């Protein structure tokens, strides 16, 4: 929700501030949802019920939202390619080719011209034979 504050009149701004203060007071005074959930579970267990029996299966699913799986951290990789004119422009050889290198390649240079000497070997090309025709000579 976005509100264009510049277009609001003085009366509308005052109403917005009052509504925001009311909402802030409500949020700060109420208990956290996890605490209320624990109280409800305890009260249901004391009466001999479970939350699922009282509120249905949807209550158990919506009570605790599923977490997304954590992203695997990728390790840092040393740069393989460097622009000789601007030393700060580097590329590891992974992912899309950067614009500076793509421009140089389109101008007629080879990617291997920009390898960092002594540190890098050219990135291996795809070696998959799927979809390629092969000719087998019989002797």
**Cα gap 12→17, rounded to integer Å:** 9
pLDDT number for residue 116: 87
Q: pLDDT tens per residue, the chain (139 residues)?
A: 688 888 888 998 899 899 999 999 988 888 888 888 888 888 888 888 888 888 776 655 555 566 778 788 878 888 899 998 988 999 988 889 999 999 999 999 998 888 988 776 666 665 666 666 666 777 6
Distances 49 to 4, 13, 59 between C-alpha atoms, Å: 49, 49, 14
CA dihedral over 53, 58, 61, 63, signed as positive or negative: negative
pTM above 0.75, yes or no: no
Task: Tell me which DSSP letter residue 115 carries.
Answer: B
**Burial of 104 per CB tally in 10 Å (0-12, 13-18, 19+):** buried
Is residue 100 within 8 Å of 107, Cβ to Cβ?
A: no
Predicted pLDDT at 65: 63
Given this model, what pLDDT does residue 34 score? Answer: 86
């Amino acid at each position: 929700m976005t509100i264009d504050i510049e277009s609001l009149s003085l009366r509308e701004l005052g109403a917005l501030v009052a509504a925001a203060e009311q909402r802030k007071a409500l949020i700060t005074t109420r208990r956290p949802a996890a605490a209320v959930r624990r109280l409800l579970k305890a009260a249901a267990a004391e009466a001999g019920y479970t939350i699922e029996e009282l509120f249905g299966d949807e209550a158990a699913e919506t009570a605790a939202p599923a977490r997304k799986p954590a992203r695997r951290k990728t390790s840092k990789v040393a740069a393989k390619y460097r622009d000789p004119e601007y030393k700060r422009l580097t590329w590891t050889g992974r992912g899309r080719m950067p614009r500076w290198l793509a421009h140089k390649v389109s101008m007629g240079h080879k990617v291997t011209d920009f390898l960092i000497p002594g540190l890098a070997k050219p990135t291996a090309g795809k070696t998959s034979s799927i979809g390629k025709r092969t000719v087998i000579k019989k002797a």
